[in-house]
Chains A and B, each alone.
Chain A
Amino acid sequence: MIRVRNLTKTYPIRGGHRTILDSVSFDLAPGRKLGILGRNGAGKSTLIRIISGAERADAGTVERGMSVSWPLAFSGAFQTALTGRDNVRFISRIYNSDFERNIVAVDEFAELGPYLHEPVRTYSSGMRARLAFAMSMIIEFDCFLIDEISAVGDARFGQKCQAELFEKRADRAMIIVSHDAAYVRDHCDHFAVLHDGHMHFHDDFEDAYTLFKGLIGWTPPPDSGTASS
């Protein structure tokens, strides 16, 4: 169980403070998948970082009763002067995980071939995305924090990620943050909309989505139902 209690976070902006999270509280049970919708800048990523322990809240607590991943995103925190292999070794050391096993797994999954031994700065953005995702999968967690992961990658790689994260790890808890409503709908079993520092929870996607659409000021096009938001 993850227990989030009264999280409050403000950021300084010119001439004052902006409240990103205003006393946010919720629980996440093992295996449950929470999807969080919100506009750009609503504080979704901030919330994920605070839950992961990477960033501190101004007030409130996060009780991690299960192991929680770092915020997974395709960008990845690479040292680009180092090789893919070096980066895998670094992660293995930090998490006390078997490097020899991990490098085999990353090699098979990311399909970087000889590039695994080249500096990351020589990689294309697709290759970086593959390395980042493969590295996210070598350390196992009870709860994965996923921040806009659907954005990058070709179709085949997308399928592999899908299988690795949502099929093989279907038993894990997840918090998925995205402005892509369909992605959140397909992978979560309950939902929340983050707006003005408050979380509005809904068990039904359509309820959450209606609220979200209202908040972003989305109106259906007058003459057709086929437009995408």
Chain B
Amino acid sequence: MTAPGLTHQPACTPERVPSLHEALAIERRVIFALLMREALTRYGRHNIGFLWLFVEPMIFTVGVTALWSLTKTVHGSSIPITAFALTGYSSVLLWRNMPGRCINALYPNLPLLYHRNVRILDIFIARLVLEFMGATMSFMLLGILFHMIGWMELPEDLLEVIGGWFILAWFGMALALFLGALSVRSELVEKLWHPLSYLVFPLSGSAFMVDALPHEAQGYVLLLPMVHGVEIVREGYFGSYAHAHYDLGYVIAIASTLTFLALLQIRAIAPEIIIE
């Protein structure tokens, strides 16, 4: 007894080096397949399924917004606390959750590398795209919702908000790729990232405006790349009365360097990977 549905002719052409166009098509397909697989694995088909992608970060953000509003957190500016919390905490989602998703991401997915077109970088990228989508949806939907109920204004300069958001995402992705690749080599990465990300959180610019800090402290805080991103997002949102402090050149230099180091690291671990 055989299955009539199975065909007899090779559907694949002999292998050769694909053109750039073909390579991009393969890349898109593979990342989409990994992304759907990851989303299904994480959220399943029960209750609201895929919607958890942005409902989960929304719950976090609303919770933090509520807490900060109730405790009247001192943030040293005239920006309404709701808007302040939304821009601040949404930014944290980008730079903190992306590395969290990539650290130790490779190990459970190793068998996928049996399929030649699936590369280590693809596994990371699929997770990062998913994380970016979730954080962005959450940020957008809450921004619209808070505006509709009159808690905050629409951004003064939408393009600047988007620019700042992308810079934060870029930094988050580069950091995630770097730590994700490094975590293959040492389990210390996971052990240290959790406390570090907690410790950096209060310094990351989410809970204060740089302008409100003493002058001496500003220089130190601005060493952290994510602070620049949050400041740009807030300048875009609140315009001149945000008094943002940032250096675009600095944050881009850091993100580029980190991206480069991350790709080097991924290249370095590739020959060491042993698929069981």
Give chain A's interface residues, CB within 8 Å of chain B: 11, 49, 52-56, 58, 64-68, 70-71, 77, 79, 81-82, 86, 89-91, 93-97, 101, 104-105, 108-109, 134, 137-142, 160, 163-164, 168-169, 172
Contact (Cβ within 8 A) B6 A109: yes
Interface residues of B in 1-19 (CB under 8 A from A): 1-15
26 A-B contact pairs sorted by A residue (CB < 8 Å): A52-B114, A55-B113, A55-B274, A67-B10, A67-B15, A68-B116, A81-B44, A89-B36, A90-B33, A93-B32, A94-B115, A95-B115, A95-B117, A96-B26, A97-B11, A101-B5, A105-B3, A109-B2, A134-B3, A138-B6, A139-B11, A140-B7, A140-B11, A160-B2, A164-B6, A172-B10
Interface residues of B in 144-170 (CB under 8 A from A): none
Residue of A nearest to B42 (CB): A81
Inter-chain CA distance A140–B13, complex, in Å, is 10
| Chain B contact surface mostly | loop
Contacts of A138 in B (CB 8 A): 6
Contacts of A108 in B (CB 8 A): 3-5
> In whole Å, how far is A146's beta carbon from the nearest beta carbon of chain B?
13
Given contacts A91-B115, A164-B2, 8 further A-B contacts (CB under 8 A): A52-B114, A55-B113, A66-B15, A70-B116, A77-B115, A79-B41, A81-B41, A108-B5
Contacts of A56 in B (CB 8 A): 270-271
Inter-chain CA distance A77–B14, complex, in Å, is 25
Task: Judge whether B212 is part of the interface by a CB distance below 8 angstroms.
Answer: no
Inter-chain CA distance A70–B114, complex, in Å, is 6
Given contacts A70-B116, A105-B6, contact A82 B41 (CB under 8 A): yes
> In whole Å, how far is B89's beta carbon from the nearest beta carbon of chain A?
30
Residue with the highest number of chain A CB atoms closer than 10 Å, among B6, B40, B116, B270: B6
Number of residue pairs across A and B with beta carbons under 8 Å? 111
Contact (Cβ within 8 A) B12 A141: yes
Residue of B nearest to A86 (CB): B40
Task: Judge whether B273 is part of the interface by a CB distance below 8 angstroms.
Answer: yes
Contact (Cβ within 8 A) B115 A70: yes
Residue with the highest number of chain B CB atoms closer than 10 Å, among A49, A95, A104: A95
Given contacts A58-B271, A79-B37, A82-B37, contact A68 B15 (CB under 8 A): yes
Task: Judge whether B80 is part of the interface by a CB distance below 8 angstroms.
Answer: no
